[in-house]
Chain A
Amino acid sequence: MILGRAFEDKCAKIYYREKMCGFAHLYNGQEAVSTGFIKLVKKEDSVVSTYRCHAHALSKGVPARALMSELLGKTTGCCRGQGGSMHMFSKEHNLLGGYGFIGEGIPVATGAAFTSKYRREALKEADCDHVTLAFFGDGSCNNGQFFECLNMAALWKLPIVFVVENNLWAYGTFHLRAASDPQIYNKGPAFGMPGIHVDGMDVLKVRKVAKTAIARARRGEGPTLVECETYRFRGHDISSEPDDLRDPAEKAQYAARDPIPALKKYMIENNLGSEAELKAIDKKIEEVVEDAVEFADESPHPPRSQLLENVFADPKGFGIGADGQYRFEDPKFTEGTAPV
């Protein structure tokens, strides 16, 4: 959580120093949800997020260096500088983005869960029990794709957990102005899956609920809808600060429930860690983030040749091989190992 917070604060500083441009949607305040869920899943499980994906990427294990380089558009970034803040992908860590459109990640996450089920049933890999976590906000819950996926996930009993990060504000629209039924967890039972509401500012409560939901999916019993009541301390994105629509009293109320000091207090009270140890963690994270910025600063910009790369996996116009012959004549063709 501390890494997430420190990273996002650093992002803001870099943005104001004009090293980063475009969009940056910061996650301050919502760290409990990301940490509470993602730290419970394996490396092979997938996570799909929205444009507010920095913390999800960090929780899933993407190195801070790769993330920072990506934000500065350097070639050492996790997507070689071609994705940016909103499009974080990591095949190694099974982080499937990073989507600019709200609701776009939900069907993709459902597809990843579908793959899990397909591998178990059609490809007969009996031990494939991968779970997918789909993170999205309160605004997405009014989007058609959300309902389509709740329906299909419940219909086909897919191993997915739909995590709603309800921070009450969809850009500048207050949740009550946008949703006919503001209690999002009610939408789960309407489609035949459990809908759970949890205090998203308390990482331990989130973790408890996450455990049940993930275990349910892993057992093959189907999806769960978890609504986490949380709050973002900064604006929708950096360029929309200062945000004047939100009442300072509301902000103060949630700032008092900041998950990081709350967990620190809990740890000290229950003798799970001393003040000195917690300070040491803070310092260590600061060093990690500073190192990430240094690394990113020193990394090279993408070379000109990178502009036209990676549009296709197989750019040559499939069918004709390097030697000008028909590829289907290559005996390795049907194994898919014929050279590109």
Chain B
Amino acid sequence: MLGAARQKMLGQSLQRIRPMEKVFRSYSSAAKQMTVREALNSALDEEMSADPKVFLMGEEVGEYQGAYKISKGLLDKYGPERVLDTPITEAGFTGIGVGAAYYGLRPVIEFMTFNFAMQAIDHIINSAAKSNYMSAGQMTVPIVFRGPNGAAAGVGAQHSQCYAAWYGSCPGLKVLSPYSSEDARGLLKAAIRDPDPVVFLENELIYGESFPVSSEALDSSFCLPIGKAKIEREGKDVTITAFSKMVGFSLKAAEILEKEGISAEVINLRSIRPLDRSTINASVRKTNRLVTVEEGFPQHGVGAEICATVVEDSFGYLDAPVERIAGADVPMPYAANLERMAVPQVEDIVRAAKRACYRYVSTAAAA
């Protein structure tokens, strides 16, 4: 009986994004497991085979099979004209990608991490994002910049920054950040087909994680809409927004909160720009409390933007101040215990949710 209730809930939440006639599909038999790595690889493979103008360019994408093996097998399948290993020249090859995109080719530029993309950020913002506007629609740039973003494990300060807030503030860019394999597949396919520059922020630590995918997600035409968030878990007491790896942490936090009687609604943002203001606001209007979770630096971060959005649109509905969980305001330390303290953990999210629900007893008061 519980199974039927959960299925109905799943059906209802998926109803928001699935066309009506597919809502009564049985999910138990159709669930296949797929890692995020496989999802990205299959998305690239399918898009490259569907459109000969799509090509992949980056460091180690060809013969090395991808620094994180995302592009495994693509060189053998499509040849060196379409899977290009570049010298270590981010500014150069990003500009080359933009120039090719001006002419209607559809490059996918891979950065080994988005930290390295800082060497190319001039081209991402000045020649890609702003061109359609500066040329009044003459130069469209159908390009995708993808790669791992945010902290990995023990890689130090220069390899661990989260760039969602930086790119998310720039008009002319679409910024996506998938969590599960289905997100990865659908959003990457949508990004490649999109006629505008898309920054696709992945996360190295979830590449190996396995998620169930429905059979519709395996279809070669499957795309997810850009600009729509997904409600991963429905709840009624507090809204938790997150993206990328933090969605997993938020879901675990929601399970812990459930045991303490707090029903948390977890929103997977999926799209940092455009931000799905309507889904976030609708959820806050239902629960009246908000916790934003992100891995990046707190000042001027994604959480700050979501808080401002909710204050602008749903101020009267808030019953508690917005809680903002972000990474520590320091460059990422190396030592493993310090690193754990510098990135939000499940306990931090649980504590913040309790604070928002006024169930948090401060240790000072208890003592």
A91 touching B135 in the complex, CB below 8 Å, given contacts A114-B99, A115-B100, A152-B86: yes
A326 touching B135 in the complex, CB below 8 Å, given contacts A112-B103, A319-B190: no
A110 touching B99 in the complex, CB below 8 Å, given contacts A121-B81, A312-B196, A317-B228: yes
Please give the number of chain A residues whose Cβ is less than 8 angstroms from any Cβ of chain B in the complex.
58
Among A48, A81, A101, A334, contact of B50 (Cβ-Cβ < 8 Å): A334
* Pairwise interchain contact A118-B139, C-beta atoms closer than 8 A: no
Tell yes or no: A65 within 8 A of B by CB: no
Q: Which chain A residues lie closer than 8 Å to B214 at the CB level?
A: none
Interface of chain B residues 136 through 158 with chain A (CB within 8 A): 136-140, 142
Tell yes or no: B61 within 8 A of A by CB: no
Question: At the interface with chain B, which of A14-22, A143-151, A227-235, A241-249?
Answer: A143-151
Interface of chain B residues 66 through 91 with chain A (CB within 8 A): 79, 81-82, 86-87, 89, 91
Q: Interface range on chain B: under 10, 10 to 19, 20 to 34, or 35 or more?
A: 35 or more
* Pairwise interchain contact A318-B193, C-beta atoms closer than 8 A: yes
A115 touching B103 in the complex, CB below 8 Å, given contacts A313-B195, A317-B226, A319-B225: yes
Q: Which chain A residues lie closer than 8 Å to B94 at the CB level?
A: 107
Docked Cα-Cα span, A334 to B135, in Å, equals 27
Q: Which B-chain residue is minimally distant from A330 (CB atoms)?
A: B221
Among A79, A97, A98, A107, contact of B92 (Cβ-Cβ < 8 Å): A107
* Pairwise interchain contact A89-B138, C-beta atoms closer than 8 A: yes
Docked Cα-Cα span, A295 to B132, in Å, equals 25
A312 touching B174 in the complex, CB below 8 Å, given contacts A318-B225, A318-B226: yes
Tell yes or no: B126 within 8 A of A by CB: yes
Among A83, A118, A155, A318, contact of B55 (Cβ-Cβ < 8 Å): A118
* Pairwise interchain contact A151-B95, C-beta atoms closer than 8 A: no
* Pairwise interchain contact A118-B223, C-beta atoms closer than 8 A: no
Tell yes or no: B194 within 8 A of A by CB: yes
* Pairwise interchain contact A328-B221, C-beta atoms closer than 8 A: yes
Tell yes or no: B98 within 8 A of A by CB: yes
* Pairwise interchain contact A152-B89, C-beta atoms closer than 8 A: yes
Tell yes or no: A106 within 8 A of B by CB: yes
A310 touching B87 in the complex, CB below 8 Å, given contacts A89-B131, A115-B103: no
Docked Cα-Cα span, A111 to B84, in Å, equals 13
Among B95, B193, B274, contact of A108 (Cβ-Cβ < 8 Å): B95
* Pairwise interchain contact A99-B127, C-beta atoms closer than 8 A: yes
What are 23 contact pairs spanning A and B, CB under 8 A?
Answer: A84-B134, A87-B134, A104-B127, A107-B98, A110-B92, A110-B95, A110-B99, A111-B100, A113-B99, A114-B99, A115-B100, A115-B104, A145-B95, A148-B89, A148-B93, A151-B89, A311-B132, A317-B274, A318-B190, A318-B223, A326-B223, A328-B221, A329-B19
- By a beta-carbon cutoff of 8 Å, the part of chain B in contact with chain A is 19, 50-53, 55, 79, 81-82, 86-87, 89, 91-105, 122-123, 126-127, 131-140, 142, 171-172, 174, 190, 193-196, 221-228, 271, 274
13 additional A-B pairs beyond A104-B122, A311-B132, A334-B50, beta carbons within 8 Å, are A91-B138, A91-B139, A97-B139, A99-B126, A115-B99, A115-B100, A121-B81, A145-B95, A151-B92, A310-B133, A312-B195, A318-B225, A319-B226
- By a beta-carbon cutoff of 8 Å, the part of chain A in contact with chain B is 46, 48, 79-84, 87, 89-91, 96-101, 104, 106-115, 118, 121-123, 144-145, 148-149, 151-152, 155, 309-314, 317-320, 325-329, 333-334, 336
